[in-house]
A and B are shown apart, each in its own frame.
Chain A
Amino acid sequence: MIPWRLKESIVSLISMKNVCQKYKGNDFFSLKNIDLEISKGEILGLIGPNGAGKTTLIKILSGLLVPTSYDELKLLKKNDKKNTRVGLILNSNQLYDELTVLENIKFSLSLFKQKRTMDEIDSMLKLVDLYDRKSKLVRTLSTGMKQKLNIIKTMMLNVELLILDEPTSGLDPISKVEINNLLSELSQKFKVTVIISSHVMNEVERLCSRVVFLNKGMIIENCSMGDLFDKFGKKIYEIHFPCEDGKLKPFTENMNPEDYIVFHQNNSTVMMIFHELSDFKKFSSNDFIESFQERRIQLEDIFFYYIYKNKESVV
C-alpha cells in the first residue's frame, strides 16, 4: 500500500493523451499527438524553437484553448470564487500602468475574487524589495521590477499551477538571475507546480526538475533533467571548421551519425560531438580546425542536438 504522502506526491495534476491542435486556416498541426503528465509540485521546463507549439500548449494547460482533438484531457478545474487554481504570467503588459504597485495587487485579487491581509501583501512586497515603492505608479518601475510584481501578484492568488511564458524575456542578466531566484524560492515556499516556457536554457537547467522538448508541434523529449544529462554524458566536444560540410567526411566517416551534429555559424561550420572521443587527437592536433573545445555539456547543447537531429526527420 502506498503511504498517503507518497501517493499525493505522485498524483498527476495534469494529464493529456494524444492532444492535437490545428488552428483554423493552417494546413499543419500546431500540436500533434501530445502525451503529457505533470505531477504535483514539479517544475517543468518547456523548451523548443519559435513556432514549436509552446504557447499553444500553455494556452491549453491554462484553459485558454480547447484542443482540436484529444483522447484524454485532465486539466485543473477553472478558477472560481473559492479557488484560484491556475496562474498565468506572461509579461509586464499584464499590469495596469496607471495604478500603483499596491493597487495592481489589489486589482488582481479582486479579479480572482481572493482576499489577503495587508500584512501578507507587505511581506510579499518586502520579499521582492518593492515595499518602499508600493505607492508608486507601475509605469515608474523598471521592466525587472514589473516582472517581480507580476510574479508576486500571481503567487498571492494561492495558485496550484503557475504557468510562465518566457518570464525573463527582455530583462538584463542581473534581473534574470533575480527573477529565477524568486521563482525558485516562491515555488518551494508555496509548493506550487510550475511550468516555464523559455528560450533561456541555463534558466531552465537551473530551475526545472523535468524538461519537455517541443519541435514542430511534437514532443521530442520528455524526461527528468538528471536522466537527460545521464543520457548525453557530461562532456561535449565543440569543433569549428572554416569549411563546407563535404570536407568533414574524414572526421565523420567512422562516427555514428547519432553522436554528432553539424551546423553553420558565422561563416564557419560547427560540429558538436556528444560522445566520448577515443581519438580526439585527430581533431585537436589538426591544422585544418579553427578551434577545438572540450567542455561540460549544457542544456543548450542538447537543445541544438534535438533541433538539428529533428530538422529532417519531423514532417
Chain B
Amino acid sequence: MFRLLFLSLARNKWNLVKIFLLSPFNMILPPLFIGMAISGYVDEGTTLRLCLWSCFSFSIFEVVNRRMETFNTEKIQDVMISATSLFSFSFFQTCAVNVLYIPSLFITLFLYNIIFNLKIDFAFACLCVFLVFINNLLMSYILLAVQMKTPNYFNRFNFLMDVIYALCGVLYPIEIMPIFIKYIARILPITNIMEFSYSPSVEITHRFVMWVGFFVLSFLLVRSSKRKYLHSGGFYG
C-alpha cells in the first residue's frame, strides 16, 4: 500500500513543482537573502532550519491535501469498511509523503551548501530530518483527529501553519519571545526540533514523553471521531 500511495504522489507533476521549485526557491531563498542583507552572510543554522521547516510545511500540507481528497470522495468509505484501520492508512499516507519530500530537503541543503559555501554538518542534518519525520507523523495524526472533527478545515489549517511559523523559532530563537509565548511555542513539536538545531545539547528526552502523549491523545481522538462517524453517518454530522 505504501508503494502505491507513493507512486500516486510521485506521478502528480504538481508535487514535483513543489519539491524542486516552490520549496527551495519560494520558501527558503527569500528569508536567506533577508538574513544575508542584515548580517552580510548566510548562516548554516538558518539554512538548515529553513530546509527543515520547508520539509515539514510542504509534507504536512500534502498529507492534508491528500486526506481531503480521500475524505471528500467515496474513498474514505472504502477505507472505513476495509481491514485497514484509519490510523494505519494515515500512517502509510504520511510515510509516502515524507519519503517523497525528505530527499528534496537533502538536495536543497546540498545545493545551498555549495552555492553559499556553507559548512553544514550532514550527519547532524540527518538526525534533525529524522526528528522532522517523527514530528510529521505526530502532526499528521493530530491533524487527522482535528480534520475529522472540523468542517472547513483547510482555512483553519493555513492559519495554524502561519501561527506555527511565527512561534516555532525557524527564523529566530524562541528565547527572545515573552515567557508565556515561549511555553506555548514549546508545546508545538516542531519547536523542539528547531531548538535542538540551535543547540544539540538541549535536553529533549522529556519532550519525547510529551510527543508520546500527543500520539496517545490523537489516537483517542481519531477513535472517537470514527465512533461519531458510525453514529452520525459522517464526520461532521
Q: Spell out A's residues near B (CB within 8 Å).
A: 21, 23-25, 56, 59, 62-66, 78-81, 84, 86, 88, 90-91, 93-94, 96-99, 103, 106-108, 110-113, 137
Q: Which residues of B contact A94 (CB under 8 A)?
A: 73-75, 77-78
| B84 is an interface residue with CB less than 8 A from chain A | yes
Q: Which residues of B contact A62 (CB under 8 A)?
A: 77, 81
A88:B83 contact, CB within 8 angstroms? no
16 pairs from A and B in contact (CB 8 Å cutoff): A21-B233, A23-B237, A24-B232, A64-B77, A78-B81, A79-B81, A84-B83, A88-B81, A94-B75, A96-B75, A99-B4, A99-B7, A99-B8, A110-B4, A111-B82, A112-B82
- Least CB separation from B15: chain A residue: A98
* Known contacts A63-B81, A98-B11, A108-B78; 14 further A-B pairs (Cβ under 8 A): A62-B77, A66-B230, A66-B231, A79-B81, A80-B83, A88-B77, A94-B73, A94-B74, A94-B77, A98-B8, A99-B4, A111-B83, A113-B82, A113-B83
Min CB distance B14 to A, Å, is: 11
Q: Give the residue of A79, A93, A98 whose beta carbon is less than 8 angstroms from that of B75.
A: A93
Given contacts A91-B74, A98-B12, A99-B7, contact A111 B84 (CB under 8 A): yes
B230:A64 contact, CB within 8 angstroms? yes
Complex Cα spacing A36 to B73, Å: 29
Complex Cα spacing A75 to B8, Å: 35
B7:A111 contact, CB within 8 angstroms? no
Given contacts A112-B82, A112-B83, A113-B83, contact A103 B7 (CB under 8 A): yes
Complex Cα spacing A81 to B83, Å: 6
| B216 is an interface residue with CB less than 8 A from chain A | no
Min CB distance B57 to A, Å, is: 22
Decide if the interface of chain A is mainly helix, strand, loop or mixed.
loop
Residues 80-92 of chain B: 1 if any A CB is under 8 Å from the residue's CB, otherwise 0? 1111100001000
**Which one of B81, B231, B232, B237 has the highest number of Cβ atoms from chain A below 10 Å of its Cβ?**
B81
Complex Cα spacing A98 to B12, Å: 7
B237:A24 contact, CB within 8 angstroms? yes
B 188-237 contacts with A by CB, 8 A: 229-233, 237
B83:A96 contact, CB within 8 angstroms? no
Q: How many B residues, CB 8 Å from partner?
A: 25
Complex Cα spacing A93 to B75, Å: 7
Min CB distance A289 to B, Å, is: 47
Complex Cα spacing A86 to B230, Å: 16
Min CB distance A62 to B, Å, is: 6
| B127 is an interface residue with CB less than 8 A from chain A | no
Complex Cα spacing A112 to B89, Å: 11
- Least CB separation from A114: chain B residue: B83
Given contacts A98-B12, A110-B4, contact A64 B237 (CB under 8 A): no
Q: Give the residue of B4, B12, B73, B230 whose beta carbon is less than 8 angstroms from that of A107.
A: B4
Q: Which residues of A contact B9 (CB under 8 A)?
A: 98
B83:A90 contact, CB within 8 angstroms? no
A90:B77 contact, CB within 8 angstroms? yes
Complex Cα spacing A188 to B175, Å: 71
